Homo-oligomer: A and B are copies of this chain.
Amino acid sequence: MLCDRQKNTNVRLSLPAVCIVWQTAMIILFGVFIRYNEESDAHWIEHRKAKNISSDIENDFYFRYPSFQDVHVMIFVGFGFLMTFLKRYSFGAVGFNFLIAAFGLQWALLMQGWFHSLDYTDGKIKIGIENLINADFCVAGCLIAYGAVLGKVSPVQLLVLTLFGITLFAVEEYIILNLIHARDAGGSMVIHTFGGYYGLAISWMLYRPNLDQSSRLQGSVYHSDVFAMIGTLFLWMFWPSFNSAITDHGDGQHRAAINTYLALASTVLTTMAVSSLFQKHGKLDMVHIQNSTLAGGVAVGTAAEFMLMPYGSLIVGFCCGIVSTLGYIYLTPFMEKHLKIQDTCGIHNLHAMPGVIGGIVGAITAAAATESVYGPEGLINTFDFVGDFKDMVPTQQGGHQAAGICVAICFGVGGGIIVGCILRLPIWGDPADDNCFDDEPYWELPDDEESIPPVLQYNNHMRNKDV
């Protein structure tokens, strides 16, 4: 199983060092900067009375906590298990996903906090449930990028990818949401487009020309495909919570959930159709079912809170199921062969393309918004035409949305190239080509022979004696 070209994948010093030092840094930075906000602080009672809030149920916690927990499941079980499809990389898929998400959410609380939740009176970041959701969102961008390099990097590289990814995300998000004033509740642009291109650019920088020689492990087995469906389904089911988690209270959350529910349902049918149509005997391909069925949720991210209309959601899902599945069939092999981009999970088809589509759908929907559809107050609330932006009109908003897509792509590609350069340094303990897609370099693996039924073990025993 070993080969001469094996690299040193021993991370015994680097991994613990990075974990301990960075976690210590988090503690110090949290100590200096992070405090509870007025809804999670023990002074809430006094605050409530001062603001004449009639009941504890008006605390933002009750508006958002159920969605938060759903998003949390998507991040850890959804992304983690979606990547377990490889036959011998399930530990790495779910374990490293766990590691980088746990680190990333802390760093995201700080980075996003400085941009969005800084209380200038005392220089502290004040956090509540919405910050936790946003931190999970921010982490999602990096987990998407992990999908492109799955099986080809060390955990230390992943932590570096996450550190820079979160940082870039927070800046990009601030530019898109605050400076450009684009709306992006479900993150088609800020999460999926950015995360997709970030991962693809890194994968391009880390291109392994001889990888297909060792592709023995780059496939699934029956049970690993079933494990991956756990990830798929939890992502699919909870996507309405993802897209509605930070939208406006009331109709905003309500509408975002409905639109996402419908878009995803539509995607399933067209994914199955295309998957069957393009195989020789009409058989379905698990790769498509595991991934393309989710494209509708990505593509409806930006517009979910708008008056997209139920049929509009279905149309978006319809198109994305087709585009995404065709991407797996034609585009991924093309990109690997001609563009030198090895995209293990096909994030281009699941996140990058649908993300861009979502951005475009958002721009069109915003530009087409009218007062008769939204109501005068509804229009202002939905697009947040207040403060500096109180004179904006929907057509302008459409333009701003389009600008947001460009920023997300630029940050993704540019950031990915820079971070890819850093990750090419020969100090991170990444695996040799022969060790890719294998848990062996980074995990203590159980001896699986015992699990074979007795009769086979006996045969082996006999056989070995003969030999």
B57 near A63 with CB under 8 A, answer yes
Q: Which 5 A-B pairs have the closest CB atoms?
A: A12-B282, A42-B378, A44-B251, A102-B268, A56-B250
| Complexed CA–CA distance, A111 and B297 (Å) | 24
What are 30 contact pairs spanning A and B, CB under 8 A?
A: A12-B280, A12-B282, A16-B276, A16-B277, A20-B273, A23-B266, A23-B270, A26-B266, A28-B311, A30-B262, A42-B307, A57-B62, A66-B69, A69-B238, A72-B237, A73-B234, A88-B451, A90-B222, A95-B284, A98-B293, A102-B266, A102-B268, A103-B268, A106-B262, A128-B258, A132-B257, A219-B447, A285-B444, A286-B444, A462-B463
Known A63-B62, A443-B284: A87·B450 in contact at CB below 8 Å: yes
B281 near A12 with CB under 8 A, answer yes
Q: Which of B15, B109, B381 contacts A282 (CB 8 A)?
A: B15
| Complexed CA–CA distance, A422 and B58 (Å) | 51
Minimum C-beta distance from A311 to chain B (A): 4
Interface size (A, Cβ < 8 Å)?
159
User: For the complex formed by this chain, how many copies does it contain in all?
Assistant: 3
| Complexed CA–CA distance, A455 and B309 (Å) | 54
A127 near B444 with CB under 8 A, answer no
CB neighbours (8 Å) of A26 from chain B are 266, 314
Interface of A is mostly: helix
A250 near B27 with CB under 8 A, answer no
Interface residues of A in 1-50 (CB under 8 A from B): 1, 10-13, 15-17, 19-20, 22-24, 26-28, 30-31, 34-36, 39-46, 48
Minimum C-beta distance from A276 to chain B (A): 5
B99 near A255 with CB under 8 A, answer no
In the complex, residue of chain B having the shortest beta-carbon distance to the beta carbon of A23: B269
Query: Which of A144-152, A223-231, A351-359, A408-416 lies on the face that meets chain B?
Result: A223-231
Interface residues of A in 208-253 (CB under 8 A from B): 216-217, 219-227, 229-230, 233-234, 236-238, 240-241, 249-251, 253
In the complex, residue of chain B having the shortest beta-carbon distance to the beta carbon of A308: B36
Q: Which of B56, B127, B233, B276 contacts A310 (CB 8 A)?
A: B127
1/0 per residue, CB under 8 A from B, across A424-460: the answer is: 0000000000000000011111111111111110011
1/0 per residue, CB under 8 A from B, across A306-319: the answer is: 01011100110010
- Quick check: is A377 within 8 A (CB to CB) of the other chain? yes
A45 near B459 with CB under 8 A, answer no
Known A12-B279, A99-B269, A269-B22: A61·B250 in contact at CB below 8 Å: yes
- Quick check: is A265 within 8 A (CB to CB) of the other chain? yes
